[in-house]
Structure 1
C-alpha cells in the first residue's frame, strides 16, 4: 500500500466522482481508477460501489475512510515537523572550538562551510585543547580544531590539512650551512618549544620526526614567546626551534636560518574533532566542508 493510494481513495470518497477527484489531484482519471482498484485488491475489500452514473462508499469504505484520513494527517504532521527541524538546524549556529590562530586557512574552511549551507552562522569559542575536546564530548561544541594525529576517546577526527615545519637556528651555527638539514645532525642541540607545544601536538610531531632520524630531542629552555626565542637565536644562542613554513616570514632577520629537514617533511596535521553521534545532517555538512577545504588547500600548494 502506498500513500498516494490513500490520497486517491480519500479524494474520490470526498468527491464521490472519479473525474472530479482526478482534477483535484491534477492527474488523469484512469490513474485514479487504477490505483483505487489496486488498493482494493491489496486490502481485499471493495471501497466503492460504482455504476455508470454514481460512485458511493461501501460500508467497508465508510469505516476505513477516517483511518485513511488519520494516516494522511499524521504524514502531513511528520513532514511539517521535519521541515521545522531542518530550519532550526540551519538557524542554530555551528559552534566551533579553536585555539591558536589558523591564519588564512580558516577562510578556506569557512568558504567550504558556506558552500554547503549559506544560511549557517558560525560561532567560535577559544580555549585549550583538552577543554575544547571536553566541550565537544558533552555537546557544548559541534566540533573543534585540533592539531596532532592522536585519536581521542569518544571522538573522530576529520582531516583538514598538514602544516610543514621548518628548523630554525642561529645563522652563525655551522648547521645553518646545510639546506636541507639532516635532522640527526641536531642531536645534542637543545630544542626550544613553548609549554603549549605538547597540548597543540607540536612537540609530538617534532619528537616523532627526530626519533625517525634516530635520536631523542634534547629539551632546552621553554619558549616564553616565539618572538623572544627568535631574538635569542638571532643573538647566537646554541639551540633550535621549529616554525610553520607558512609563517616563516616571521623570522625576518638574517641572523636566523630557516631550513627544510632532509628526508620526509616534518608535518603537523590539523583536523576537526567531532562526536560520532553528532546530528547526522550537521556531521555530513562538516565532513563535506572538511573534504572541500582539504582539497582547496592541496590545490593551492
Structure 2
C-alpha cells in the first residue's frame, strides 16, 4: 500500500469521480484508475461501485475512508513536525546542568521557552567528567561546566561569569576588610574539597594562589557548605571560597567577603561544528539572557 493510493482514494471519494479527482491532483485519469485498482487488489475488496454515470463509495469504501483520512493526517503531522525540528521550532534539547541551578538557569529556561515554546528541554545533572563524556557521545546536546580551561574534542563557549566569595572567622583581622585578595589569605589554612570532587574549581583556586607566589596551605577538607562554615566559625582560623549556587543561611561567627582578582566562568561544552537547531535556540537564549544579573543565592564549590 502506497500513500499516493490512499490520496487518490480520498480524492475520488471527495470529488465523486475519477476524472474530477485526476484534475484536482494534476495527473491523468488513467493513473488514478490504475492506482485505485491496485489498492483494491491488495485489500481484496472494491472501494467504489462503478457505473457509466456515477462512481460511489461501496460499503467497504465507506468503512475505510475515515481510516485513510487518519493515515494521511498522521503523515501530514509527521511532515510538519519534521519541518519544525529542522527549523528548530520543535524538538528536544538535552542539557547537562551544573549543581544547584539557581535563578540564572531559570531565567535561561524562561527565555528559551519564550523563543521556542515547543522545544522540550531535558535537564540532566551529572558529575563534570560524565557531563563531558555525554556530550562527546551525543547523549547530551550540550553541558554547562564551571572553571574548565579546556576539554578534548569539545568546544567551550563562555556564557557567564560569577564573583567568588570568601568565608573567614568574624573575629579575624581580615573580617574588617570590605573585600579580600588571595595574597591576604595565603597564610591561613584553606578548606578545599579534594581535587577529584571538582578538579576545574580546585585547579582554578590553587593555580591562582601559586600565581601570587604562595603555595596553598591545606586545611581540613571542605565537606558541605553548612558544616564547613560552621567549622570556620568555631575552630582555629581557616578560610574557604565559594560561588553562588544554593541558598545561604546566616552562619554565626563567620564573615563573608567578596574575593577580588578572581572570578568563575561558566562555559557551554558542545561538539565542534554547526549547531543543530535545538542548540541554536539555546545559544540564542544564552545571548538574550541578561548575563550581568547576579544570583540571589550562594553555595559551595561542589560541581
- Please classify the TM superposition score into its range, dividing by the shorter chain length: 0.5 to 0.7
Deviation of 1:180 after TM superposition, in Å, equals 2.1
Which runs of no fewer than 5 residues in structure 1 stay unpaired? 1-79
Out of 267, 276, 292, the residue aligned to residue 271 of structure 1 is 267
1:235-246 equivalence runs, <5 A:
235-244=234-243
* 8 Å CA contact 1:158, 1:290 repeated in 2: no
Matched residues in 1 for 2:92 and 2:206: separation?
38
Deviation of 1:292 after TM superposition, in Å, equals 1.6
Matched residues in 1 for 2:207 and 2:80: separation?
49
- Residue of structure 1 in register with 2:251 after alignment: 253
Matched residues in 2 for 1:246 and 1:283: separation?
24
Matched residues in 1 for 2:85 and 2:195: separation?
38
* 8 Å CA contact 1:142, 1:278 repeated in 2: no
Deviation of 1:197 after TM superposition, in Å, equals 7.4
Alignment CA distance shift 1:251-1:196 (3 Å): farther
* 8 Å CA contact 1:146, 1:200 repeated in 2: no
Partner SS for 1:224 = coil
- Residue of structure 2 in register with 1:40 after alignment: none
Out of 278, 291, 301, the residue aligned to residue 297 of structure 1 is 291
- Residue of structure 2 in register with 1:154 after alignment: 153
1:108 corresponds to 2:104: no
Deviation of 1:112 after TM superposition, in Å, equals 2.4
Show structure 1 runs of 4+ deviating over 6 A. none
Matched residues in 1 for 2:173 and 2:122: separation?
48
Alignment CA distance shift 1:279-1:178 (3 Å): closer
Matched residues in 2 for 1:91 and 1:146: separation?
26
Partner SS for 1:169 = strand
* TM-score normalised according to structure 1 size: 0.64
Quote the RMSD (CA, aligned, Å). Answer: 2.9
- Residue of structure 2 in register with 1:286 after alignment: 282
Partner SS for 1:207 = helix
Alignment CA distance shift 1:86-1:204 (3 Å): farther
Matched residues in 2 for 1:188 and 1:284: separation?
47
1:120 corresponds to 2:115: no
Deviation of 1:105 after TM superposition, in Å, equals 0.7
Alignment CA distance shift 1:256-1:299 (3 Å): closer
Alignment CA distance shift 1:210-1:82 (3 Å): farther
Alignment CA distance shift 1:278-1:220 (3 Å): farther
Deviation of 1:141 after TM superposition, in Å, equals 0.6
Partner SS for 2:133 = helix
Alignment CA distance shift 1:227-1:211 (3 Å): same
Deviation of 1:184 after TM superposition, in Å, equals 1.0
1:117-196 equivalence runs, <5 A:
117-195=116-194
* 8 Å CA contact 2:229, 2:251 repeated in 1: no
Matched residues in 2 for 1:300 and 1:150: separation?
23
Deviation of 1:258 after TM superposition, in Å, equals 1.1
Which runs of no fewer than 5 residues in structure 2 stay unpaired? 1-76, 296-303
Partner SS for 2:119 = coil
Alignment CA distance shift 1:109-1:241 (3 Å): same
| Further displaced range: 85-94 or 121-130 | 85-94
| Further displaced range: 179-188 or 167-176 | 179-188
